[in-house]
Amino acid sequence: MRTRIRIFGWMTIFTLLLILAAGIGSFGSSTAVEAQADSYKFDFGSGGVEAGYIGVTATDRYDATKHYGFNTPENMRNVPASGTGVGSDAVQFVTYGTKSDNTFNVDLPDGLYEVRVTLGNTARASVAAEGVYQIMNMTGNQATDSFQLPVTDGQLNLLVTEGKAGTSFTLSALEIRLLSSQPVTNRTIYIGGDSTVCNYYPLNSSVQAGWGQMLPQFVDQSAFVVRNLATGGQIARGFRNDGQLEAILKYIKPGDYFILQLGINDTNSKNNTTEAEFKELMRDMVRQVKATGATVVLSTPQGRATDFNEAGVHSSVNRWYRHATMALAAEEHVPLVDLNVLSSAYFTSIGPEATLGLYMTGDSLHPNRAGATQLARLMAEELKRQGLDGL
């Protein structure tokens, strides 16, 4: 009798272990497939899948039971990439555009998320989600950047799209992390501008930089996030009409700032924009953003490194439609940062040789990383002096 009980006991324990193991396996599978998660890590392409990531190939169609997939996988392609780990392969968006339905969809509970993207091999590409731009002109293979996104309809819809016509728009990895159950962005400083303002990649080590890229180090990041939507070559008409202002207007709210600096490229004859036209384009953007309750700040661009006179004084007050920007700020009663004059005073203080050292080699217009840092410092100091908080 004792022997039978012992045998039954071991058989029972063994059976329970098998059931438990099967249950754990099915539970793990069920969690990945059936439960709607608030964080994900995706590894795209047909190669190996990194530990901790969910593998997704170009053929994976959105499935409501697993809560993710491509809306139109027939418009996706698996491609190689030159990086390592998640960067060793990618998917390519064959059709694209901010309004395209060729998106990667992820079901998410409504809330505020941090979304981090890693591109594959691409010369220049932008990231769109919810039908608007989120990151502008990421350059170089395996470029990485992140943004905050409020989800209000239960699903993230993301794609990689135009940054430079004719190049491949690829995605190697996507990480999504819930920040808050409230689908409202943190207080945000939005920035519009051109190549002297925009981001360059890798963000933490690029030789060239725009002051918008360097501004976060002068901002209280517990109070604000910085969203830099500036792009190289941009003009006022393009910023207003081609999607960047649209992205800002979708999210900007009272308590946010919008810093706008344009004029350098508008003065180029090929862009066919008179100073009067420039002023009215800028006015339209100022009024649209002011109507949201956010604070608009206008900025004038810095001059060229070579704008020194014989006395060693740097001055570029007549460049880049500066007078129109100053007049507009007064007429619309918005703060003005005359970065043109502030930077000239700084350049004069350090002299012509040191000023050249703040610009790209052989380039008198575009600042290097050190120069962009100084411009960002001047911007932040002036905003703080004018009473804007968070700096």
Q: Work out the pLDDT band at 165, boundaries 50, 70, 90.
A: confident
What six digits make up the tokens of 379?
A: 């911007």
Q: Which of 88, 195, 299, 343 is catalytic?
A: 195
Q: What is the pLDDT of residue 166?
A: 82
How many Å apart are CA 47 and CA 135, to the nearest integer?
Answer: 26
Number of residues in the chain: 391
Instruction: Tell me the longest C-alpha to C-alpha distance in the chain.
Output: 111
366 in catalytic set: yes
3-state secondary structure of 124: strand
Task: Give 277's strand partners.
Answer: none
List the one residue out of 105, 79, 74, 73 whose CA is nearest residue 92: 79
314 is catalytic: no
Confidence of residue 37 (pLDDT cuts 50, 70, 90): confident
- Domains of the chain in sequence order: 36-180 (2.60.120.430), 188-385 (3.40.50.1110)
Catalytic residue of the set 349, 363, 364, 389: 363
Strand 173-180 to 111-118 pairing = antiparallel
pLDDT at 25 over 60: no
Q: Is 323 an active-site residue?
A: no
DSSP string for 273-288: --HHHHHHHHHHHHHH
| pLDDT value at residue 18 | 39
Q: What is the pLDDT of residues 342-372, one digit of tens each?
A: 999 999 999 999 999 999 999 999 999 999 9
Instruction: Identify the active-site residue in 266, 314, 344, 366.
Output: 366
